[in-house]
Every structure is written in C-alpha cells, then in structure tokens.
Amino acid sequence: MKKLRAILYSRSFNIISSLLINIALLIILCMFKLWLVYLGICVACTTLFFVSLLLKNYNSKTNFILLLLAFMLPLLSYTLLKYSSSTRGRLRTRTKWKELTNLETTYTEAQNKSVLNALAEKGTLANKTSKYINTTLCAPVFENNSVKYITNGTQYLESITKELKSAKKYIFIECSKLQDCNSWKNIFEILKERAFAGVEIKLLYDDYYSLNAFKDNSTFKKLFNHKIETRAFNPISFAVGKTVSYRSMNNTIIIDGTVAFSGQIGLNDEYVDNIAVSESLPKTIGTAIQIHGDAVTSIVKNYVTNWNLFGSSDALVLEKYLQKTPTKTRGKVYIQPFEINPLIKESPRKNIQNNLINYATKSIWITCPYLLIGNETKNSLIASARCGIDVNIIVSKNYEENWKNDLSFTNYGALIREGIKIYTIEDSKLSSQNIVIDENTTLIGAGNVDSRKMYHSFENGVLIYSEDIAKQAINNMKKLQSFGNQLTSKDLKKRNFFKKLNGAFLEIFSPLM
C-alpha cells in the first residue's frame, strides 16, 4: 500500500497522468465537434494563469512555458503550476519548523559574533557567505573544532565503526537510503551491542528512498526489539499532500554530542568496492567529514529538528543531548554546519553556492554528480573564468539517469568556450558534492549544483574555513582528474544527434522539472 501511495503522489506520475487525460479530453471533444468548447477552456485558463503568474515570483522563462502550455494543454499546465507554487509546503509544517529552528542551544549570540569578527579579520571574502548563512538559517560558526576529511567508503566505515564502539550516551543516525547489505549488517551488530549496554540509539530514515531497503517491510519496526528506535522522515501517506516530494538527502551520524559525521557517503556497499581513490575508483565516489568539537552542537540541533518535524509523539528535547561544557579538542578550525530545506521562503542553497563562486579570487573546484545549472550560476562561473580564475568542474559522464546526462551536456559548451575545465568520470558514479574556493574555503554537501533541486529536498551542508582541509579536497579532486577525461568542444560535436536534440528539448522545460 505504501508503494502505491508513493507512486500516486510522485511528481512524474501526476504530470504524465494529467498529460494523458488532457490529450484524451481533447480527442473526445474533437470527435463530437466541440473543439470550440476546448478552445474557450484554453483561453479562460490562459487568462487565469496570467493573473496568477503575475502574483508569483517566477522567472520569465517559467512564465512563458506555463502560459504556452495553458493555451494548448491546460490540465498539464495546472499540474506543473501546482508543483511550482507549492515549494514551501503546508503552513502547519512551516510553522512547526520555525518553532523547532528557534530552539536555543548553549552557544550564545555573543560567542557567535566574536567568532564571525575573528573570521572577518582573516581577510577571507567568503566570510560574507558565513554571515548570510547565520542570518538566514540560524546557523552559527564554531572555532573550537578538529576535522578529518574522508575520501572513500572504506575509510568512512572504519572511522564510524571506531567511534560507534566507544559511544557511551547516545547515537543518532540519519540516512536517506538504507540497503540490506554487508556494510549495514556490520553497523547493525555494533548498534545492537551498544543498545544493550544502555546507549540510546535513534535511526531516522527517508521513507521514500528506503521503501526497498529490506525485503521484510516490518524490519524498521523490528529494530525496536533491539532497543533501536526508528522514525520515517516525511512518512508517505494520503495526508502528506504537497510535501510528499520533500525528501531527506542527509547522511549524518552523531555520537554523544562530541563527534559527528556528515557527507555523501551512505551505509551501502557501493561505496566500499575498492580501498582508495588513488588505486582505483569504487562504484560510487563520495566524500565525508568527521567533526570533533563545538560545531557538533548545530548538527545535533538539525537532527532533533528533523526527528520532531514529522513526528506527532515522542519528541526529543534538544537540551538533553547538548554538551554542557565546551569540547576539548586540539584543533581550531572554523566550521559552520547548516541545513537547507524547501520550507524557507528564499533559496539559500542557490545564494550560498553563487556567493562562493562570486567571491573567488584565485581558483574554483567543483565536484558534483551532474551539472543542471540555471542561468544565474552559469553566468557566475563564466564571469569568474573571464576574470582569470581557474575553474575546474568534475562530473559523472554517465549518470544513472540518461536524461540528466543529456541535459547536463547542454550546459558544457558555453562553459568550455570560456576556458572552464570540465572533467568526466566514466566508470563510476560521482555522488561527491564539494565546492572549494581560493584553497581556503570548502563547502561540503548542501545539495548538487542543480537548479531543479534548489527547492525540493532537506540537505545538510558544512562550510569549513581551513587551508589544510581545502588542500586535501583539491588533492582528492586532482586524483579524480587523473581517472577522468577533459571535455573539449570537439567531444561535444561528436555526440549523438538525438542526444543533442533531447538535451535541447529538456532545456526548454528545465525550470519546471
């Protein structure tokens, strides 16, 4: 039943259904020579849509497409307008999120202001982005931290295994997708042992992406028998309505409020096919970080917010899971964890990424699965390249969805002509989402460089001001370059004609996809 609900509420199902119903209605009316009635319906819908769009803050391209479709296929246009206009979800969900976000931590505003001032004195232009994140997302900056940059799944599993075994108070796990595989089984054995030792364990999983996680649909409920409490994020039900497409892409593990892991490596075997990137590429390439220090406070708050957001009972009390005293750590790395979600009025994801690109003065390094960028981001990259900034982008050549590949390639031509270097990884799927500017500022996570998903998912991000971490990230990207191929204008011309045509067609409707 839950799988059927997921299909009925999926964006693709509703768009295709509305298109087929609209075409069937047109054929029936024409058969009975009532095409003038259909034309009148189209004109009336176009007029109503025009008035509605005047009140919406859409770009001109989106308005043009919706009005064009309204005149030919009004039902399809209405469906697309419905998805475009409901990006912020239900009022009740937004209100609850605001209440949870405003929960106070032990970190004071004065402490945050002091750290922001110290960061500004370092002369890093990107600290303006940090102030924007703090103001918009209520996410402070912390300086008493140490960070470990993780470049492959094997290293990631070894690190979390070590920390999980030493847990004494609680373990929080948030994952977008679980699989019944060896990696999960190994983690599960540790969780069972820690749970019976008195450690509180909570698992938050995305209900949509984890539908096929286990053959036994009641597996998540049975985890309670092992003293592991589970909760589905945004559970799929007929009551979800507009927010059904809002999924969690977070992969976070928190131990005792002192150590946290965040990034694009999941508890799946596909990340641990090989030992290291320097030797050979795994099936799926991801990166993550291990944080030890005060910045874990923000990650705990984000977890508690997501746990309570779609739950009606057993709410977590944030104060119970916060460290009462500053964490003792040898490092002093400026870290700013935050979370992006579709409940926010503006698009912080787009603003953060574009701000970092615009503030760069020397170099820009980007890794992402695919490149479905909007005109604003594309213009920012081109402007940076024309200013003499070294811009390098690494993407998957053959992503798992072919239409994303075709649409991505439509963006490459304009970038390559401006001197931007684009490298494609052919034999592996690249899930890593990193941006490094000027070899001192690194953004890990916060979503793919994808204008389509700027408003549709919950995703963690971590902004790190550290030359050491930035250099590690760049070195990892250079290793990926050695396994990839640099695209040229000749390569784009050699592509299949139908792939080019499909990419051009998809580009027209990209704002609504």
Q: Which residue has the higher pLDDT, 119 or 449?
A: 119
DSSP one-letter code for 108: -
User: Is the residue at 302 inside a domain?
Assistant: yes
Query: Side chain identity at 254, as an amino acid letter?
Result: I
Please indicate, yes or no, if residue 340 is contained in any of the structural domains: no
Q: Sign of dihedral through CA atoms 114, 118, 119, 121?
A: positive
Tell me the pLDDT band of 277, cut-offs 50, 70 and 90: very low
Total structural domains within the chain: 3
Same domain for 177 and 59: no
pLDDT at 107: 79
pLDDT at 202 over 90: yes
For residues 426 and 274, is the Cβ–Cβ distance under 8 A? no
CA distances to 33, 143, 435 from 346, in Å: 47, 28, 21
For 362-387, the pLDDT digits (tens) are 999 999 888 878 778 888 899 999 99
pLDDT of residue 172: 96
Q: Report the percent of the chain where pLDDT is more than 90.
A: 21
Residue located via tokens 């990892």: 476
**Boundary of a domain, candidates 300, 335, 370:** 335
Q: Residue 59 — pLDDT band, cuts 50, 70, 90?
A: low
Amino acid at the residue 465: Y
What is the pLDDT at residue 256? 92
* Residue 443 bridge partners (DSSP): 435, 463
Domain identity same for 195 and 240: yes
Segment among 96-105, 209-218, 396-405, 447-456 with least mean pLDDT = 447-456
In a domain, 250, yes or no: yes
- Residue 475's pLDDT is 92
Shared-domain flag, residues 331 and 271:
yes
Residue 342 domain-assigned (yes or no): no
If one compares 317 and 499, the residue with the highest pLDDT of the two is 317
Higher pLDDT, 38 or 164: 164
Residue 57's domain comprises 2-85
Lowest mean pLDDT among 29-38, 51-60, 183-192, 320-329: 51-60
The number of helix segments (H) and strand segments (E) in the chain equals 18, 18
Residue 135 lies in a domain: no
pLDDT tens-digit profile of 73-83? 787 777 777 66
For residues 442 and 29, the model is more confident at: 442
Instruction: State residue 189's pLDDT score.
Output: 92
Residue 194: per-residue pLDDT: 93
pLDDT value for 13? 74
* DSSP assignment string, 26-55: HHHHHHTT-HHHHHHHHHHHHHHHHHHHHT
> Do 472 and 325 form a contact (C-beta atoms < 8 A)?
no
Between 79 and 288, whose confidence is greater?
Answer: 288
Mean pLDDT over each residue of the chain, to the nearest integer: 81
pLDDT at 222 over 80: yes
Closest CA to 152 of 462, 370, 472, 486: 472
Q: Name which residue leads in pLDDT, 63 or 118.
A: 118
Query: Is 425 in the same domain as 324?
Result: no
Q: In the predicted model, what is the mean pLDDT of residues 282-300?
A: 88
Cα(435)–Cα(298) distance, integer angstroms: 21
- Per-residue pLDDT averaged across 59-76, rounded? 72
Same domain, 354 and 470: yes
Mean pLDDT, rounded, for 429-437: 87
* Residues 237 and 324 reside in one and the same domain: yes
pLDDT over 70 at 325, yes or no: no
- Answer with the one of 40, 69, 85 that is the final residue of a domain: 85
Lowest mean pLDDT among 315-329, 373-387, 480-494: 315-329
| Domain CATH number, residue 192 | 3.30.870.10
Name 468's Cβ contacts closer than 8 Å, sequence gap at least 6: none
Q: Can you give the pLDDT at residue 87?
A: 59
261 or 324, greater pLDDT = 261
How many degrees, rounded to 5, is the angle at CA 446 between CA 105 and CA 398?
A: 155
Structural domain ending residue among the three candidates 291, 312, 335: 335
Confidence (pLDDT) at 86 = 52
- Structure confidence by residue, pLDDT tens digits, 229-239: 998 888 876 54
What pLDDT shows up at residue 161?
92
Any domain includes 127: no
What's the average model confidence in pLDDT over 208-232? 83
Are residues 307 and 401 part of one domain? no
Q: Are residues 281 and 357 in the same domain?
A: no
Q: What pLDDT shows up at residue 192?
A: 92
Torsion of CA 230, 234, 236, 239, to 10 degrees: 120
**Residue 176 lies inside a defined structural domain of this protein:** yes
Chain segment 115-154, per-residue pLDDT in tens = 888 777 776 666 788 888 888 888 889 888 899 999 888 8
Average pLDDT over residues 312-322: 81
Is the pLDDT at 450 greater than 60? The verdict is yes
Give yes or no: residues 288 and 400 share one domain.
no
Q: In this prediction, what percent of the chain has a pLDDT beyond 70?
A: 82
175 and 308 co-located in one domain = yes
309 and 329 fall within a common domain = yes
Neighbouring C-beta atoms of residue 493, cutoff 10 Å = 9
Contact 512, 456 (CB under 8 A): no
Looking at the fold, whether 76 and 216 belong to one and the same domain comes out as no
pLDDT number for residue 240: 43
With respect to residue 188, please indicate whether it lies within any of the assigned structural domains: yes
Tokens of 104: 């106070």
Q: What span, in angstroms and rounded, lies between the C-alpha atoms of 154 and 275?
A: 6
pLDDT of 453 over the 80 cut: no
Q: How confident is the model at residue 2 (pLDDT cuts 50, 70, 90)?
A: low
- pLDDT for the residue numbered 276: 41
* Rounded distance between C-alpha atoms, residue 241 and residue 246, angstroms: 11
CA triplet 374, 375, 380: central angle to 5 degrees? 105
Q: Which residues contact 239 (CB under 8 A, 6 or more apart)?
A: none
pLDDT at position 253 over 80: yes
Which of 5-19, 75-89, 225-239 has the highest mean predicted lDDT (pLDDT)? 225-239
